[in-house]
Amino acid sequence: MTRPPIEPFRIKSVEPIHLLPQELRIKKIAEAGYNIFKLRAEDVFVDLLTDSGTGAMSQKQWAGIMIGDESYAGARNWFHFEETIKDIFQKKYVLPCHQGRVAENILFSTILKKGDYVPNNTHFDTTRANAMHKGGLALDLPCPEEQSHDSDFPFKGNFDIAGLEALIKKVGPEKVPVVIITVTNNSVGGLAVSMANIAAVKQICSRYHIPLFFDAARYAENAWFIKKYEPGYADWTIKAIAQKMFSHADGVMMSAKKDGLANMGGFLTVNDEALAGKLKELLILIEGFPTYGGLNGRDLEAIAIGLKEALEEEYLNYRIGQIAYFGDLLRNAGFPIVTPTGGHAIFIDAGRLLPHIPPAQFQGQSLTVEFYRRGGVRAVEIGSLMFGGEDPNTGESLSPNRELVRLAVPRRVYSNSHLEYVADIARQINADKQNLRGYKISKAPMYLRHFTCELEEIVKNPAGAISA
């Protein structure tokens, strides 16, 4: 087993957490319609729902908050924010927004027409939903190596290069207004994209005059994997690798709630002056003035500091080492997981763990509910509940490649003891997995149904018929 990493920090402040009695947890999740998003956070013991905006900020970030300038226009924190983003992401124009999905909304509202295609190595939920909401067709083109469950190929987050070129030739470049690379590739296990793959995607985009954008939520973690596993980068700094990555891009969208180490915020940064002007007009309309974009001055300062701290190699060694340790713990508990482990989460293959539950009955959601009932642990399903249903633009049935459960670890929040506790709960679940049941949806919206839907547990009556 990988040795548990030592935290490169000391703890100054603590937040109490409490484990509710099991009978109360069973009641709470039923009252929430078996939807973990509807639980009160105070009723969760170890919260691994997301690493987005849930991290602990550093003393420098808290100090920066105290010098927040809340002027409406031209606050001093804006200039620090802008300078930092231009330095790391290598683009001319910066537009702040209150989180990453607003960057997606602004971009797609500006460049996307109904019937356009948006290829991505793999869209995450809000990116896909924003593209679909504007009438676009969101296509996932992960690399072929991603299909191998057990290989340790370090760059399973890569784009399918041949698939991308084939798509462009088939539909025509005029129907592809943008290509997006998500780093790291969240939906396939938080796995990295290599520099060579990024360069190959850029080469195709340049040939067909298609802009290349990044979803850069976990850019620093991706750069760490390039440094560790891609030949030629071992002696580079993380910052230099990041700058090289973004030199291939025409624009970048980012939720700063991940590798910005902040609790709120995001941005969109581009090189094209005309595009920047159109984006800025929409930003003013729906978010705020271009020097704050829906954020407080103190938020801008915390993000500027956090973007730099995320590039520190000592921090990244700990961060990614903790994820690897967590993966070893869950494997030893008998859980099949996506390998190799990525930068921010462990992805359990619920389809392999619970083959007695049909995929249509949401294997991942069954496991997610059981984590909470057994141990007060909140995880999230990434499978047929999150990505299934019908495409509202085509009516086609949507089906993910795998039924996964993600345990996302907030940055600088939980100790190794917390992760060991989660692994103990996993061991209990594994011993009793045949008794887990499937679920069916009783109420759901059109978009992003996993956030607000309600479910019912499926049971079999003595005659064998299925009922809720």
Residues carrying an active site annotation: 72, 124-125, 215, 217, 258, 450
Over the chain, what HEC string results?
Answer: CCCCCCCCCCCCCCCCCCCCCHHHHHHHHHHCCCCHHHCCHHHCCEECCCCCCCCCCCHHHHHHHCCCCCCCCCCHHHHHHHHHHHHHHCCCEEEEECCHHHHHHHHHHHHCCCCCEEEECCCCHHHHHHHHHCCCEEEECECHHHHCCCCCCCCCCCECHHHHHHHHHHHCHHHCCCEEEECCEHHHCCECCCHHHHHHHHHHHHHHCCCEEEECCCHHHHHHHHHHHCCCCCCCCHHHHHHHHHHCCCEEEEECCCCCCCCCCEEEEECCHHHHHHHHHHHHHHCCCCCCCCCCHHHHHHHHHHHHHCCCHHHHHHHHHHHHHHHHHHHHCCCCECCCCCCCEEEEEHHHHCCCCCHHHCHHHHHHHHHHHHHCEECEEECHHHHCEECCCCCCEECCCCCEEEEECCCCCCCHHHHHHHHHHHHHHHHCHHHCCCEEEEECCCCCHHHHCEEEECEECCCCCEEC
